[in-house]
A and B are shown apart, each in its own frame.
Chain A
Amino acid sequence: MLDKTDVEKIAWLARLSVSEEDIPNYCRDLSNILGLVEQMDKVDTGQVSPLAHPLELGARLRPDVVTETNQRDHFQDIAPAVESGHYLVPKVIE
């Protein structure tokens, strides 16, 4: 059973804002999902090779050719803030 700190941590990692009163519901719902996974874990899959993708195909590769043109103005039309070609975000310093 997940507790409050588990939910808070998961929410933080996903950058989701979760209200205090909803946390018990998330604890219950997420625990139920994990319970189902636990149940599936019990199936013997020793003879099954791991599946990375539901399609039984290999990747199609593209040739190394530049096909895109500069569409900066077009893309930056929908950005909240730009300056001298850069997208602007709140200051990030490590």
Chain B
Amino acid sequence: MAWETIIGLEIHAQLATQSKIFSGAATAYGAEANTQACAVDLGLPGVLPVLNKEAVRMAIMFGLAINAEIPSRSVFARKNYFYPDLPKGYQISQYELPIVSRGSIDITLGNGETKTIGVTRAHLEEDAGKSVHEGFGNLTGIDLNRAGTPLIEIVSEPDMRSAKEAVAYMKKIHAIVTYLGICDGNMQEGSFRCDANVSVRPRGEKKFGTRTELKNLNSFRFVEAAINYEVERQIDVIESGGKVIQETRLYDANKNETRSMRSKEEANDYRYFPDPDLLPIEIEKKIINEIKQSLPELPDAMKRRFIEEYHLSEYDADNLTAGPALALFFETTVQHSGGEPKLSANWVMGEVAAALNRENKDYNQSPIKGEMLGGLIKRIKDNTISSNIAKEVFTAMWNGEGSADEIIEKKGLKQVTDSDAIEKMVDEVIAESPQQVEQYKNSPPEKQGKLIGFFVGQIMKKSKGKANPKQVNELLKNKLAD
């Protein structure tokens, strides 16, 4: 039977405020346990929450970026459940009147087509603390530094039909919140997290199948792997005569499998009700318009501009606008490259991406800045160095040995374009390799192309890679034809 996959995502993005959503405690990551948890965060008796203006502004920015309506009135509600990292016994969240109502974003599919994914809503809420299960013997340690950190939860419509679409959607939301500067997007530190609701149904069927909720998907790769595993599992269950149970399942990256966390019998009954400690948020049209005016260029607009201005392919433009640091790095590189956008794109997504990946760094942490990379590309463009030598220069730049020009000068890497010098080397190599010359001369033309590589290689070795390959090739062909 042919099956169809239905996926909806819930994304939690931590807002990049200095202080918490309802208290004046700091939100900085990595502080010593419980040093950033104040009386409000701990839920001590007698405290009252006061809403952070910046968190509201950031949530509105997100709403405007996905073309959603921002209602004039929005209400906080208590979501009641008991867990040790939730000191009050309830989480302050939003239920009936979220700050952002329905919007949508476009994703680009593998075949280049665009698909619109609905965003049901986005609401403001506070994060919980952290449970530490190791290092405390039979007990669990609780760190409440994260408790009260502002989040927006972004809930999608069940519009995605494959794990790849889900990842494309998640990447687009990630790009939007980082372009807006409202979230640092760091998935290792948990600033950007995702749960996936997954179900399958026979192709053509209108009714949704029973869904499971996958948790612990803290990288784009895990989202894809977990959904693919879960789809296979659900199909297996149904095809062997069983029924999918509505439950929460935890993804285990080490084993690449999902396993049951809790079933519907124990499912939480949150008993939402409006929080009497907080008055409704009222947002004037004037404020919304002011925020609208202040929005930065967003990924879709920037992508269109890259295609127009730099004549890049859809694919390149898509990749280069995946994050604000990357896009800025690329544009800086182009500006200093002497008008070489395509070559810049190749270097940024090739050598630079690989080097950053090895050291687990983002583009704004790169030891080579866009200006410096542009300087290197300029020297490839004007034939001062070959692409191969450029890689050597790049490594030296990465290790802090200076600018491209300094390194080329210091290491004497200038390409040899002096035809006399090249001719001398060509003659030497021909004289040293009578056997290969013989073989070349006796081969049909279609084989000669391959054989000439041997001579080019020898000459490059002799010149330490500095001979201009185009000149070498021409000279060789002429000489060997004699």
Contact = CB atoms under 8 A, between A and B. Distances in A.
Contacts of B278: 53, 59
A53 B280 contact: yes
Given A53-B280, A61-B52, A66-B18, A87 B38 contact: no
A76 B279 CA distance: 31
Contacts of B138: 90-91
A73 to B, nearest CB: 10
Contact of B17 (A60, A64, A91): A64
A42 to B, nearest CB: 21
Contacts of B140: 88-93
B53 A61 contact: yes
Given A13-B269, A62-B50, A91 B274 contact: no
Given A57-B279, A75-B34, A65 B19 contact: yes
A72 to B, nearest CB: 5
B407 to A, nearest CB: 44
Contact of A64 (B35, B54, B274, B279): B54
A67 to B, nearest CB: 3
Given A58-B279, A88-B141, A83 B24 contact: no
Interface in A11-30: 13, 15
Contact of A86 (B50, B51, B143, B282): B143
Given A53-B276, A58-B280, A86-B136, A70 B142 contact: no
B261 interface: yes
Contact of A85 (B33, B42, B56): B33
Contacts of B271: 13
Interface centre among B23, B34, B56, B250 (most CB of A within 10 A): B34
Nearest to B279: A59
Contacts of A57: 279
A62 to B, nearest CB: 5
Contact of A83 (B18, B141, B261): B141
A5 interface: no
B39 interface: yes
A12 to B, nearest CB: 10
Contacts of B375: none
Contacts of A40: none
Interface residues of B, number: 53
Contacts of A15: 82
A68 interface: yes
A36 interface: no
A92 B132 CA distance: 9
A86 B51 CA distance: 27
Contacts of B281: 58-59
Interface residues of A, number: 35
Given A52-B274, A83-B136, A68 B23 contact: yes
A55 interface: yes
A29 B17 CA distance: 46
Interface in B122-174: 131-133, 136, 138-144
Contacts of B83: 92
Contact of A88 (B23, B50, B55, B136): B136
Contacts of A83: 136, 139, 141
Contact of B25 (A62, A68, A91): A68
Contacts of A37: none
B84 interface: yes
Interface centre among A64, A76, A81, A92 (most CB of B within 10 A): A64
Contact of A61 (B23, B24, B36, B51): B51
Contacts of B37: 72, 75
B37 to A, nearest CB: 8
Contact of B133 (A13, A61, A93): A93
A45 interface: no
Interface centre among A13, A59, A61 (most CB of B within 10 A): A59
Contacts of B55: 64
A59 B142 CA distance: 31
Given A15-B82, A71-B38, A94 B250 contact: yes
Interface of A: 13, 15, 52-53, 55, 57-68, 70-72, 75-76, 81, 83-94
Lowest 9 A-B CB distances belong to which pairs? A67-B24, A86-B141, A58-B282, A64-B54, A85-B33, A61-B53, A68-B38, A87-B142, A59-B279
Given A83-B136, A91-B133, 4 more contacts: A53-B278, A84-B33, A87-B141, A90-B140
Interface of B: 17-19, 23-26, 32-39, 42, 44, 50-56, 75, 80, 82-84, 97, 131-133, 136, 138-144, 250, 261-262, 269, 271, 274, 276, 278-282
16 contacts: A53-B75, A53-B274, A53-B279, A58-B281, A59-B51, A59-B280, A60-B51, A61-B50, A66-B19, A66-B25, A68-B19, A70-B35, A86-B34, A89-B139, A91-B139, A91-B140
